[in-house]
Amino acid sequence: MSTTTKFEVEKFDGKSNFLLWKMRVTPLLVKESIHKALLGIEKKSLKMEDDEWNNIDLRAKMTIILCLSDAVFYNVMNEETIAGFWSRLESLYMTKNLSNKLFIKKQLFSLQTKEGTPILQHLNAFNRILSDLLALEVKLEEDKALMLLSSPPSSYDHLTITIIYGKETLELKDVMQVLQNNELMNMTDSTEESQDWLSRARRGDQRVGDPKRMQMLLPVMLTTTAGIQGSSRKIV
C-alpha cells in the first residue's frame, strides 16, 4: 500500500526571502512533473501535444498561486502562463539592480554578532546573505572564511588566532565546523561546571564560586536540574 506525502510551503508575502521560497516551491513542481513549464513554451518538446503542455502549464500555475499571499498574487494575476508568472515574480522580488547588490554586500561586510548569540544563529544569518548575493549573481572576490572569522565577538579572538595560525588557505566549511564544535564544547563544559556547583551547594559547601559566574550558569543549571528530575521520574 503506497502512501502519499504531503508537502506544504509557507505562502510568499513579498517580505520574506524570495530565494528561499523559490527553492522550496520548485520541488513541488518537480514532484508533480510540471516544472518544465517554467521554461516557457519555446522549450516544449516536439513530441508533446499542445493540450498536454497547456495542462502542465495550468497545473504549475495553480500550484504557485496556492503558495502566494493575496497581496503578492494581485501583482501577477494577469500573467497567462506560468513562465510569465515566474518571470514577473522574479522581476518584482529578486531585483538585480546595483543598489540592491551594494546593500546586501554592505550587510555582509558589516555583519557582527553580539556576545552570547548562538553561533548557529549567526551562521544562518551569514549563509542567508551569501545566498542572496548568489541569487543576484554577485561574485565575491573577498575571502569568505576570513570574513566569517571577523564577525564573532571579541571572546572569539583567541579561537580566531588559533584557526588562522600557520594556515596559507582557509576553507569556509572548515571554519564553520570549528565554530560549531567550539560552541558545543563550551556548552558541555558549562553543563559539567553547573553540575559540580549544584553538588557542592547541596552539600552546604560555601565555596560555590564567583556569584557573577554562577548567574551566567543559571540557565544551564536549570536545564540540568530539569533533566535530572525528568530522569528520576522515569526511573521510578
How do residues 131-141 score in pLDDT, each as one tens digit? Answer: 888 877 788 87
Q: Residue 169 — φ and ψ, nearest 5°? A: -135, 155
Q: How far is Cα 190 from Cα 182, in angstroms, rounded to an integer?
A: 12
Torsions phi, psi for 12 (to 5 deg): -80, 125
Q: Are residues 23 and 89 in the same domain?
A: yes
Residue 114's nearest CA partner among 170, 165, 155, 80 is 155
In a domain, 225, yes or no: yes
The H-or-E segment that residue 167 falls in is none
Do 196 and 229 fall into the same domain? yes
Confirm whether 172 is domain-assigned. no
Asked if 85 and 107 sit in the same domain, the reply is no
Contacts of 229 (CB under 8 A, 6+ apart): none
- DSSP letter at 68 equals B
Q: Distance between CA atoms of 24 and 27, rounded to whole angstroms?
A: 6
Maximum average pLDDT range among 2-16, 113-127, 221-235? 113-127
Q: Do 114 and 152 fall into the same domain? A: yes
Q: Are 145 and 170 in contact (CB under 8 A)?
A: yes
At which of 69, 93, 117 does a domain end?
A: 93
Structural domain count of the chain: 3
| pLDDT beyond 80 at 212 | no
pLDDT given for residue 222 in this prediction: 40
**3-state SS of the chain: helix, strand, coil percent to 5?**
65, 0, 30
Residue 138 phi/psi, 5° resolution?
Answer: -95, 125
Are 47 and 33 found together in one domain? yes
The model carries a pTM of 0.54
User: Are 53 and 107 members of one domain?
Assistant: no
Tell which wins on pLDDT, 236 or 15. 15
Higher pLDDT, 87 or 187: 87
Q: Is the pLDDT of residue 25 over 80?
A: yes
Residue 202 is predicted with a pLDDT of 55
Whether 175 is in a domain gets the answer no
Question: What pLDDT is attached to residue 134?
Answer: 82
84 & 107 share domain: no
Three-state DSSP at 12 gives strand
- Is 171 within a domain? no
- Tell me how far apart the alpha carbons of residues 98 and 104 are, in angstroms, rounded to a whole number: 10
Same domain, 83 and 102: no
Same domain, 57 and 106: no
Domain final residue, candidates 40, 64, 93: 93
Say whether both 114 and 58 belong to one domain: no
pLDDT above 50 for 167? yes
Please provide the average confidence, as pLDDT, over all residues in the chain.
78
C-alpha cell at 62: 495553480
In a domain, 5, yes or no: no
% residues pLDDT > 70 (the chain):
75
**Is it the case that residue 210 has pLDDT exceeding 80?**
no
Residue 9 located in a structural domain: no
Instruction: Mark whether 128 and 89 lie in a shared domain.
Output: no
pLDDT of 23:
84
Residue 170 maps to a domain: no
Q: How many helices (H) and strands (E) does the chain have?
A: 10, 0
Q: What is the pLDDT of residues 67-115, one digit of tens each?
A: 999 999 999 999 999 999 899 998 888 776 677 788 888 989 999 988 8
Q: Which three cell numbers stand for residue 85?
A: 508568472
Note whether residue 177 is domain-resident: no
Q: How far apart are CA 113 and CA 71, in angstroms?
A: 34
Across 2-28, average pLDDT: 78
Lowest average pLDDT, out of 20-24, 42-46, 97-101, 109-113, goes to: 97-101
Region 28-42: what's the mean pLDDT? 89
pLDDT for 204: 54
Residues above pLDDT 90, as percent of the chain: 20
Tell me the residue range of the domain where 44 lies: 18-93
Picking from 215, 198, 193, the residue whose alpha carbon sits closest to that of residue 116 is 215
